[in-house]
Amino acid sequence: MTDKQLIAYLKLLHGTYNTAMMLLFMYQGLLGLRTRRNRMRGRQDFRLIKRHRKLGPILALTGPAGFIAGMIVIYLDKGRIMEYPLHFLTGLSIALLTAATFLISRKIKGPDSPWRTPHLMIGIFILCLYIIQVTLGLGILF
């Protein structure tokens, strides 16, 4: 197996990266909620909309990258990826739901799109899963 000191640093890097991703997802959610609130009030802040639309695809790629990195780190350390099944399944759920949210966002057309509510609900669920995931990860790390 790989050097234990290197693995320890990689685990810490994985946790730090995914905590940063969680914070970015929360920021993205805040942008989306503010955009939604403005739209419901009949106002639109195109700066918010532009920021939300620009950051979304980036997070859709970089979020699941943290999951893949975690799988690689645990495989290098333990020789299998299911060493921490709850943490693995939560990460897998976040990655799949992130992809689903991205695909749904592509179907949103116009202010009355029926895809807006599923996009919102899945986004809230992702944020809840991130909080659980970080808590599980801290339990593994310490």
pLDDT of residue 127: 96
Angle between helices 116-141 and 85-105 (to 10 degrees): 160
Given a cut of 60, whether residue 22 has pLDDT beyond it is yes
pLDDT of residue 95: 97
Given a cut of 90, whether residue 110 has pLDDT beyond it is no
Using alpha carbons, select from 39, 59, 133 the residue that is nearest to residue 93.
Answer: 133
Neighbours of 32 (CB within 10 A): 23
Given a cut of 90, whether residue 112 has pLDDT beyond it is no
Neighbours of 86 (CB within 10 A): 12
In sequence order, which ranges of the chain are alpha helices (DSSP H)? 4-40, 46-78, 85-105, 116-141
Given a cut of 80, whether residue 1 has pLDDT beyond it is no
Task: Indicate the average pLDDT of the chain.
Answer: 94
pLDDT of residue 2: 58
Given a cut of 90, whether residue 79 has pLDDT beyond it is yes
